[in-house]
């Protein structure tokens, strides 16, 4: 495989990831718009209104995660993946992921109360998934951040040797 073919393959993969990122962003935007409309217009939400408001508020750090992921893809395209900018983007993704997880953890007692009143144990399961999902992303991003810091250190050592 020639270098030119490898570069075009690399660009096509980052283009595909950007397309996925765009679709996810549009999907979350549409979902937030629908939830906001339901919160404002519907009187039959009852106890679920604060839960839906929490979902909409938690989308703010999620959009920032999407933005930082887009920055990471730009760094990869520009051959700047082993830079402090990439480490900073991973750090921000890690912090935002933990913030989202913490938001759902703080809302857990309210969700448990609503689930008990409505006799809906599925709501508790969804809450656990919403806590563990961002937490797992944060842990994985933390590991990637540490690996990237080590790779940058090895790269600088290698440049000093030559």
**Structure confidence at residue 103 as a pLDDT band (50, 70, 90):** very high
Range with the poorest average pLDDT among 67-81, 88-102, 111-125, 136-150: 111-125
What band does 64 get if pLDDT is binned at 50, 70 and 90?
Answer: very high
Report the pLDDT value the prediction gives residue 133, as an integer from 0 to 100. Answer: 95
Residue 31 burial (CB count, 10 A): 13
Q: What average pLDDT does the segment 145-153 reach?
A: 93
Whole-model pTM: value is: 0.86
Report helix, strand and coil shares of the chain as percent, to nearest 5: 90, 0, 10
Measured CA distances, 107 to 23, 128, 129, 131 (Å):
28, 11, 13, 10
Mean pLDDT within 36-58: 84
- C-alpha distance from residue 121 to each of 50, 106, 127, 146 (Å): 18, 18, 10, 38
Residues 6+ apart with CB under 8 A from 70: 18, 21
Average of per-residue pLDDT values in the chain: 88
Measured CA to CA, the distance from residue 116 to residue 132 in angstroms comes to 21
pLDDT band at 3 (very low <50, low <70, confident <90, very high): low
């Amino acid at each position: 495989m020639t270098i030119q073919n490898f570069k075009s393959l690399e660009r096509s993969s980052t283009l595909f990831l950007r397309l996925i990122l765009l679709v996810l962003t549009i999907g979350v935007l549409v979902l937030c718009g629908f939830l906001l409309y339901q919160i404002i217009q519907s009187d039959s939400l009852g106890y679920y209104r604060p839960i839906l408001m929490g979902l909409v508020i938690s989308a703010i750090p999620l959009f920032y995660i999407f933005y930082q992921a887009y920055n990471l893809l730009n760094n990869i395209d520009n051959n700047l993946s082993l830079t402090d900018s990439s480490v900073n983007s991973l750090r921000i993704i890690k912090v935002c992921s933990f913030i989202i997880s913490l938001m759902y953890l703080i809302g857990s007692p309210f969700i448990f109360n609503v689930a008990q009143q409505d006799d809906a144990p599925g709501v508790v399961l969804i809450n656990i998934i919403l806590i563990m999902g961002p937490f797992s992303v944060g842990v994985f991003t933390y590991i990637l951040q540490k690996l990237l810091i080590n790779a940058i250190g090895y790269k600088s050592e290698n440049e000093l040797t030559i």
